[in-house]
Amino acid sequence: MLGAPSAPFVTQTIFEAYRDGGARDFFPDHFADEEARAGAVRRAARPLDARVAAAVEAQNARLAASSARERNLRLLRDGAAAVVTGQQVGLFLGPLYNLYKAATAIAVAGELSRSQGTPVVPVFWLQTEDHDLPEIAVCRVPRSGRDPLCLELPASAEQRVSLAHLDLPDAVGGLLDEVTGELGNLPLAAPHLERLRRHYQPGRRWSEAFAGMLAELFADHGLVLIDPRDDALGDTAAAVHRRAIDAAEPISQALLARCGEIEARGWSAAAHVRPGAPLSFYHPRDRDGPRYRLEVDGDRWREVGGSDCHDAADVARALGEDPLCCSTSVLLRPILQDTLLPTAAYVGGPGEIAYFAQLAPLYEAFEMKMPLIVPRASMRLLEQRTLRWLDALNAEPGQAANGVEALLSGSTTAQASLDADAIETDILAAYDDAIARHRDRLEGAGDGMTQAIERTARSVRHAVAKLVAKYGKAKLHQSEDLVAAAGELERWLFPAGIPQERYYGLSYFAARYGERELIDRVVSAVVPYSTEIVDLLCEDAAR
């Protein structure tokens, strides 16, 4: 019996397809379309709800003063559209790409303001409702010739408390000592290390530390921050959750249908959808207690990862008593975000953009229009020594993604290995010549000799190919200096098989080149709507 037709073979991810102008079935507009940009700003622009405006202004008032941010807050209150991005509140600001997301939102907001002739404000959404502490409790510092310094706080995957309600442990003091010991002798380390110690203090909320530091670094660029886990925003959040709960069945069916469409194109849906289940997380004990997704269990909802069941009426009643007894999932977060904010565009990474491919039916269920989805900038931070290594190897930065041998393949020493082909040709030519001279005598010895000659020829060719490959590899590794340079490039640009921007944090680069100077260079280097990787020379930041 014939099985179901298989999904078509695809070589691109859904993000890559969207980036390159495809996957139009899953996104209402494309960021490269100038008319779509203009339409997104026109649709989004609206004054903030007075309660939301007051809450956002109060949150930002607790941050370091910034005239640019205060100006943007006034513009939001008066009806400006927003370019929003966001991330979890990671240790010491988390990976570099967090900064690139903020910089992209700033650059895109500036471009839209100029091109549309109307103010557009950059906003950073602090993803404090999430509970994945192990994912954010680590930060890495690169080191020459050695494994990176891994700064990590104790974190259990079993804890399910939203990050908004978690305090930094005492152990953060030890990490600050470690990073000071590692970077304290660098020329511009003092301001950065002082800022880390001022914000990442034991007993302080993770979200406060992250927000305080991010706000200072981007103060001159007017970045507005918002934390959704705020009593003043509770009524708006509760309305979103109530609708998601009341319409859980039809919403889940529409989302499952969208998952099927994605899978029929050969992709995988980024977020799992449970039939009939609401998209909200529920905090059954207390708002600052564990949170659980719910799944259908008969006529009730069972906690996923928990032990209890709940009636829909009980959840609705709890929402009335405490609007923060629910929090958003990855799919529901954009709905809350765009309910609170006049979002013209959202700046996201590849994973987030894959989530948005699922979301059109959810936006329709809430009678909302999906914002323009813009890929964040992607960068590689290079140093003068990086350029020297690349020059010695005759390599490009992107080759680091393919490992040491790929980096060595263009070097002078590696070029010597090209004579491997000549060696293989000579050996096999000599063998073929000898066989040709003696073939008649060999075949005349009896039946089966012709087949034996052919089998032997295959074996000889295989053995010679292995010999020559080993020779080529040995030649690649002949120069210790070049091998060391290739290893350093891989360690700095693509460590542990991961792009630099997803692996390392800011601290080394800030301590060596100046944190504010580097942030300004990053913002200036962003080309709005470009999907090319930017190679940014750090030394320029220190000039």
The amino acid present at 429, given as its one-letter code, is A
Q: How does residue 418 score in pLDDT terms, banded at 50, 70 and 90?
A: low
Q: How does residue 196 score in pLDDT terms, banded at 50, 70 and 90?
A: very high
In a shared domain, residues 225 and 299: no
* In a domain? residue 508: no
* In a domain? residue 526: no
Cβ-based burial of 114 (10 A; exposed 0-12, middle 13-18, buried ≥19): exposed
So what's the pLDDT on residue 7? 53
In a shared domain, residues 425 and 283: no
In a shared domain, residues 80 and 102: yes
Rounded CA gap, 46 and 129, in Å?
A: 26
pLDDT, tens digit, 9 for 90 and up, residues 100-152 = 999 999 999 999 999 999 999 999 999 999 999 999 999 999 998 899 999 99
Rounded CA gap, 62 and 67, in Å?
A: 14
Taking residues 168-196, what's their average pLDDT? Answer: 97
In a shared domain, residues 355 and 397: no
Q: How does residue 2 score in pLDDT terms, banded at 50, 70 and 90?
A: very low
* In a domain? residue 3: no
For every residue of 475-496, which 3-state class applies, written as one string? HHCCCHHHHHHHHHHHHHHCHH
pLDDT, tens digit, 9 for 90 and up, residues 422-445 = 888 888 888 888 889 998 888 888
pLDDT at 452 over 80: yes
Residue with the bigger pLDDT between 86 and 7: it is: 86
Containing structural domain, residue 435:
383-502
In a shared domain, residues 102 and 204: yes
In a shared domain, residues 319 and 349: no
In a shared domain, residues 120 and 90: yes
In a shared domain, residues 97 and 210: yes
So what's the pLDDT on residue 224? 98
pLDDT at 5 over 50: no
- Give the total number of structural domains in the chain: 3
pLDDT at 416 over 80: no
* In a domain? residue 534: no
pLDDT at 300 over 70: yes
pLDDT at 69 over 80: yes
* In a domain? residue 404: yes
Considering 310, 328, 346, which residue would you say is the last residue of a domain? 328
Rounded CA gap, 104 and 331, in Å?
A: 22
Taking residues 289-296, what's their average pLDDT? Answer: 95
In a shared domain, residues 346 and 387: no
| Lowest mean pLDDT segment, chosen from 52-61, 361-370, 434-443, 497-506 | 434-443
Domain containing 216 — which CATH number?
Answer: 3.40.50
So what's the pLDDT on residue 4? 43
Cβ-based burial of 416 (10 A; exposed 0-12, middle 13-18, buried ≥19): middle
**Is the Cβ–Cβ distance between 139 and 507 less than 8 Å?**
yes
Rounded CA gap, 53 and 55, in Å?
A: 5
* In a domain? residue 528: no
pLDDT, tens digit, 9 for 90 and up, residues 260-271 = 999 999 999 999
In a shared domain, residues 358 and 400: no
Report CA torsion sign: 219, 221, 227, 231: positive
So what's the pLDDT on residue 10? 64
So what's the pLDDT on residue 160? 95
So what's the pLDDT on residue 247? 95
So what's the pLDDT on residue 3? 43
So what's the pLDDT on residue 245? 94
So what's the pLDDT on residue 478? 57
Rounded CA gap, 219 and 119, in Å?
A: 18
Considering 502, 518, 534, which residue would you say is the last residue of a domain? 502
In a shared domain, residues 271 and 229: no
* Joined tokens for residue 444: 């005349």
So what's the pLDDT on residue 468? 83
Of 251, 248, 250, 245, which is closest to residue 320 (Cα–Cα)?
245
The rounded mean pLDDT for the chain is 92
C-beta atoms surrounding 386 within 10 Å: 21
So what's the pLDDT on residue 1? 35
* In a domain? residue 306: yes
In a shared domain, residues 176 and 88: yes
In the chain the first and final C-alpha atoms are separated, in Å, by 71
Rounded CA gap, 172 and 157, in Å?
A: 19
> What does the DSSP 8-state code read for residue 362?
H
* In a domain? residue 533: no
pLDDT at 287 over 80: yes
